[in-house]
A and B are shown apart, each in its own frame.
Chain A
Amino acid sequence: MAAPMLRWVGRGRLWTFARVDGGSCHRREAPTGSTSNWIRGQSSVAQQPLCMTQKPRKGEHKWAAVVGLEIHAQISSNSKLFSGSQVRFSAPPNSLVSFFDASLPGTLPVLNRRCVEAAVMTGLALNCHINKKSLFDRKHYFYADLPAGYQITQQRLPIAVNGSLTYGVCAGKKQSQVIPKTVRIKQIQLEQDSGKSLHDDLRSQTLIDLNRAEGQLRVDANISVHHPGEPLGVRTEVKNLNSIRFLAKAIDYEIQRQINELENGGEILNETRSFHYQLGCTMSMRDKEGKQDYRFMPEPNLPPLVLYDATSLPAGADPQQVINIDQIRETLPELPSVTRERLVQQYGMLLEHSFTLLNEVGLLEFFQNVIKETRAEPKKVTSWVLNTFLGYLKQQNLAVSESPVTPSALAELLDLLDSRTISSAAAKQVFEELWKREGKTPGQIVSEKQLELMEDRGALEQLCHSMMEAHPQVVMDLKKGNPRAINKLIGLVRKATQSRADPAMIKEILEKKLSS
């Protein structure tokens, strides 16, 4: 990489990251064979790899893997951690850069209140101990997208420590069984984001964007393997994983690579690696000769960050000047684990269904609105929301908020089904009509298309009779002793009624007629 870099021109600005350090205490026993038989939950695998044992092949030692995650998550705030500049996704490069962000000489960091509140809230949600006093440090290294030559972070005394997160991992043959897991959280720290480097290998140039409002999430994974009962192995760090899928792939690959290396008599170097997402492998970054010494030092321009709670709040303190932990705790929404438990208790749904409801943005609210307005059984609602409704959304790649079907419409439809006004097959048809966004209510669709359940037994008997006469071959088959042939007749009758008749009633009439 060679100069010239993009010089800072005009206005500039920097940016914010909370960092959740997963610590290094999560064990994962790796199989010696292919990694494809790993059982994993969906997103949960990224939080913590599974703990599982596999029978080693004869003559082989078991391996255990230790994985620690450093998760960089962008704080949802209007301005950056230490400057007043805005945060906006996909803003033009270097358009949101303050003088501080560009590290102009003489500029000083000013802590953003919203970021502190977000960090405290995250800490509370993750069951952390909130430090009433935390400190800021400078971490030094030279890099083109780090204009100050150091990053402001919380190395020694971070804002929150010692937390945990409980989550579920899908297991079993159909991945339908949820196993609860707990990951320990070592610390949460407020940290300034570095800029973004764009390498142009062709022109051997690097362009720098100091907006720093790139992706939402970035994870570094520290990975080592060892034999259980023996000291931990040498770890490698896989940097800059920006999706949960790649994180899982990178960890799997790296564990396997380390095992292979060690079993072939090689050794693991304490190094930084990158994940090549096209090849699916990790590679040594080799960009730093020797070990980096970050020369940590207290940030002298930021006084200690002091937080208060109800007991320590000084009398007459200006609410604008202090941050009250208890007050933030009160604004904490119901946490997902509590919501899931409530759903299971209240509606008798399966735990895995509660996970699905919470994993999709807006889906839980949709579900609850339907429940509120319908007389249908919660189980019925769950099934319709998770199967039919979610299925349509996924198929068209829509978010819940973009759905053409409102909770009220679905509630009305389920009421029609519940009152046996329509059959479930007709209900599917109505749903499909609703999806077309023609502005009709389910009731209107049902009456327009004459989808009401056929309750007139005499008419149905007449229809069955004529159907038997029209298909003597099928009747013959039945009489010869092929009981499945009746299904064909049922199907024909249903079709003739446009699915409005109850299949059970059709079957009963047909059986009566055949036996007479």
Chain B
Amino acid sequence: CYYYFLQEILDTHDSISGQITPTELCQKCLSLIKKTKFLNAYITVSEEVALKQAEESEKRYKNGQSLGDLDGIPVAVKDNFSTSGIETTCASNMLKGYIPPYNATVVQKLLDQGALLMGKTNLDEFAMGSGSTDGIFGPVKNPWSYSKQYREKRKQNPHSKNEDSDWLITGGSSGGSAAAVSAFTCYAALGSDTGGSTRNPAAHCGLVGFKPSYGLVSRHGLIPLVNSMDVPGILTRCVDDAAIVLGALAGPDPKDSTTVHDPINKPFMLPSLADVSKLCIGIPKEYLIPELSSEVRSLWSKAADLFESEGAKVLEVSLPHTSYSIVCYHVLCTSEVASNMARFDGLQYGHRCDINVSTEAMYAATRREGFNDVVRGRILSGNFFLLKENYENYFVKAQKVRRLIANDFVNAFNSGVDVLLTPTTLSEAVPYLEFIKEDNRTRSAQDDIFTQAVNMAGLPAVSIPVALSNQGLPIGLQFIGRAFCDQQLLTVAKWFEKQVQFPVIQLQELMDDCSAVLENEKSASVSLKQ
């Protein structure tokens, strides 16, 4: 059998019947990885490692020595987390062939819990992008492009063009992780979230995409984009699963001085909210912008109504500095990028050019060959902002604006709001050919609009799939919580998830032997025939 949610497998641990062994589960996922290879979700598939881990896990279960909730559970990791002995590329020529000698703390924690590492997932180069289209291994395809729901809607549309070239983007930059979870090749995946890179693809792929509070989860081993905003993100098919993974990852790390020491309630078992009458939901009025698609706007409004009808207080709140956020983000992000990318000089690891006229010439050519235009562009802007003559006018100003943006959230929460409800993206996923009509910078500015302010404030946020659009594509909404109130946030999200009953993706054309799961739309607990 095949269980749709991680939580279901855990439930079966108590009952002996109907249990699937870790090796069977691993093989199932490996076979799905092969079948969905064309999605380009994985850069590296660590088949041997996963099978060996599965074997060990199986032994532990037999001896009654399970390591925890994640023992024997297939997971995938974005290819910007260091994995000992497994190539870690950041989808860049610069790190092609680079094999880290150590595990990122979050990877180590997953392994310590017995999780099976299926592979490293695709992304935009160095996580710079919002489409998962700009890495050296090519774009990631959204599994929903091949879903029954989307295909049927397209048949009804007389204007639809050639289906094969009309596949959709996953969003990004953690698109590989989103596609991997969405296509059932694993139960959970790590993404990274600097401006929305986990929540954005989660929304486009119909998944739960969780960005924890900054400082709750270690960044040690995550190859940085923006140190002051990066957090490891979690992609799963339901909120409970995200909470289980968070429980495994959260906590202080002596190797990351920005992790907080105050103990947070663990494990993250989420209570089922019986009623929401004591809740206050804030709707930031500045998030209602003209670019927002009418479908998303209407779902957002319906969600607010749902809370209200169930007894919650729903308030309009103001985050007055929202419109400055994306520009401010751009300055801070590129400045840190310029600094963080300085280590890639071809000397110690990664790519090195053949030029050896001088060290300087070698640096220049190595970096020219190693980085794509997007990365080089951000390095250039960042160095400009950090120049002595510009520092005050750009970097310092942006830091001040960042503080104002963070204060906006503090003020909203101080006014009695428990959780903010916003859209995650402007619209549903667009076809690749449509997406690349605009450049990476423009797209990032558009797509991070609702998500990056949260990173500047260090708050926890989660994107929850709500419904399918008229085209049959997922739409997500975002909940934002108080700093370090991750559990409260996920509890509200879980209640909401239960109300909306988002449908399961139907991929039977891709995976004919998986038909059992794919035919049952409503099911929370589905098993596959072997």
Contacts and interface: CB of A to CB of B under 8 A. Distances in A.
Interface string A274-289: 0000000000000000
A58 interface: no
Contacts, number: 121
Contacts of B360: 142
A178 interface: no
Interface string A78-105: 0000000000000000000001001111
A163 to B, nearest CB: 27
Contacts of A405: none
Interface stretch (A143-151, A338-346, A470-478): A143-151
A5 B362 CA distance: 11
Contacts of B387: 293, 295
B227 interface: yes
Interface in A308-343: 321
A8 B386 contact: no
Contacts of A107: 220-221, 255
Contacts of B256: 108, 301
Among A105, A109, A140, A150, the most chain B Cβ lie within 10 Å of the Cβ of A105
A138 B258 contact: no
A215 interface: no
B228 interface: yes
B382 to A, nearest CB: 9
A471 to B, nearest CB: 82
B220 A106 contact: yes
A149 B347 contact: no
A297 B357 CA distance: 31
Interface string B211-246: 000000001111110111000000000000000000
Interface stretch (B13-21, B96-104, B422-430): B96-104
Contacts of A295: 338-339, 383, 386-388, 391
A2 B342 contact: no
A303 interface: yes
B199 to A, nearest CB: 22
Nearest to B367: A142
Given A2-B356, A109-B257, A140-B339, A104 B386 contact: no
B335 interface: yes
A108 B349 contact: no
B271 interface: no
A3 B359 contact: yes
B388 A108 contact: no
Which of B222, B347, B356: most chain A CB closer than 10 A? B347
A110 interface: yes
Contacts of B228: 300
A108 B359 contact: no
Contact of A105 (B82, B338, B362): B82
A7 B230 CA distance: 29
B347 A99 contact: no
Nearest to A99: B102
Interface residues of B, number: 51
B347 A144 contact: yes
A196 to B, nearest CB: 14
A425 interface: no
A293 B388 contact: yes
B363 A302 contact: no
A269 interface: no
B351 to A, nearest CB: 13
A47 B224 CA distance: 42
B24 to A, nearest CB: 34
A4 interface: yes
A297 B386 contact: yes
A384 interface: no
Given A108-B220, A144-B347, A300-B228, A149 B359 contact: no
A504 interface: no
B482 interface: no
Interface string A1-19: 1111101100000000000
A366 interface: no
B350 to A, nearest CB: 8
Interface in B89-124: 90, 95, 98, 100-102, 104
B343 interface: yes
Contact of A3 (B82, B104, B255, B352): B352
B348 interface: yes
Nearest to B362: A3
B267 interface: no
Contacts of B220: 106-108
Of residues B81, B224, B358, B359, which shows the largest number of chain A Cβ atoms within 10 Å of its Cβ?
A: B359
Contacts of A302: 257
B356 A110 contact: no
Contacts of A301: 227, 256-258
Interface string B326-353: 0000000001101101111101110010
B369 to A, nearest CB: 14
Contacts of A102: 348
Contacts of B347: 3, 5, 7-8, 144, 147, 208
Contact of B219 (A1, A104, A108, A303): A108
B348 A8 contact: yes
A176 B345 CA distance: 56
B502 interface: no
A104 B254 CA distance: 17
B146 interface: no
A200 to B, nearest CB: 13
B395 interface: yes
A17 to B, nearest CB: 20
A111 interface: yes
A104 B102 contact: yes
Contacts of A105: 82, 88, 90, 95, 98, 100, 223-224, 343-344, 349
Nearest to A2: B356
Given A3-B352, A149-B345, A293-B387, A110 B359 contact: no
Contacts of B221: 106-107
A253 interface: no
A167 interface: no
B257 A110 contact: yes
A206 interface: yes
A149 B342 contact: yes
A5 B349 CA distance: 11
Contacts of A3: 347, 352, 356, 359, 362
Contacts of A300: 226-228, 258, 336
Interface in B72-86: 81-82
Contacts of A111: 257
A148 B339 CA distance: 9
A142 B343 CA distance: 9
Contact of B100 (A103, A106, A142): A106
Contacts of B339: 138, 140, 149-150, 295, 297
9 contacts: A1-B359, A2-B362, A103-B348, A105-B349, A107-B221, A150-B342, A297-B386, A300-B228, A301-B257
Interface of A: 1-5, 7-8, 99, 102-111, 138, 140, 142, 144, 147-150, 206, 208, 293, 295-297, 300-303, 321
Given A102-B348, A297-B336, 13 more contacts: A2-B357, A3-B356, A5-B347, A7-B347, A105-B88, A108-B219, A110-B257, A111-B257, A142-B342, A149-B341, A295-B386, A297-B339, A301-B258
Interface of B: 81-82, 88, 90, 95, 98, 100-102, 104, 219-224, 226-228, 254-258, 261, 335-336, 338-339, 341-345, 347-349, 352, 356-360, 362-363, 383, 386-388, 391, 395
Give the 5 A-B residue pairs with the shortest CB-CB distance, closest first: A149-B342, A295-B386, A300-B227, A300-B228, A8-B348
